[in-house]
Amino acid sequence: MKCHRPTLRLLFCVLIVTGVGLLTGFSTIITNAGTSNGFESDSQWQSPRADNCGLADTEPFTLTPRAYLPIIQLPGCTSYKATVYASSEMPVVKVDMPFTVTTVLVNDGCAGLGKLSYSVAIMSDEGIVARQRFSTLSAYVRPDQYDVRQFRFVITQTNQFTVTPAVSFEANYGGVFGWGAARSVPFVIRVLPNP
């Protein structure tokens, strides 16, 4: 709708902005519109914007996009993961010839490992031929660290033997303790006669 006269234009804009209930407060403006104190012609009435009936433009605003990401808390350490590796310097030895079994405990988990207790057993089909044990209270294996121990054996009979190292330990789950164990893959050592 286009306003043609100042008085009608002003009346229409007052109705839009303030509503009919506030019209009485602006009655003096309408009454004085045709006098010398009001607007005498269209040329004297200056509108800030003719297309919105004299309403002043509002200040421009911009929206700033924001993303709120959830906070993800990973669960605490609740289990251990350890691997035992073992090997011998010689897969074949002679009777009464000393050989060394190297055992490595690797901490693959999140819990610290302490109070280590190693056991290396050499077995034949008849049972255990030799065994060595070693325990330490001072060693502590942190995550992604390892502990190395060597055990020296002498076998006095010929045969094919299976070597099985194992390690038991106390796992520390951030102040909560529990016992655990890990075992290596068994490997074979052969003992030949010594002429």
Same domain for 39 and 87?
no
In a domain, 73, yes or no: no
Higher pLDDT, 175 or 66: 175
Dihedral (C-alpha) 115, 120, 121, 122: value to the nearest 10 degrees?
Answer: 180
Domain that holds residue 46: 6-52
**pLDDT score of 31:** 45
- CA 68 from centre of chain: 17
Residue 22's pLDDT band, with cuts at 50, 70 and 90, is very low
In a domain, 90, yes or no: yes
User: 76, 82 in Cβ contact below 8 A?
Assistant: no
Higher pLDDT, 140 or 176: 140
What's the CATH number where 122 sits? 2.60.40.10
Does the pLDDT of residue 194 top 90, yes or no?
A: no
Same domain for 88 and 152?
yes
CA–CA separation, 55 vs 10, rounded Å?
10
Hey, is 142 helix, strand or coil?
A: coil
Q: How many domains does the chain have?
A: 2
**pLDDT score of 176:** 87
**pLDDT score of 18:** 52
Same domain for 87 and 42?
no
Same domain for 41 and 112?
no
Same domain for 17 and 97?
no
Same domain for 38 and 91?
no
Same domain for 26 and 121?
no
**What sign does the dihedral 161-102-169-131 (CA atoms) show?**
positive
Rounded average pLDDT over 55-80 = 68
**Least confident piece of the model among 59-63, 157-161, 165-169:** 59-63
In a domain, 126, yes or no: yes
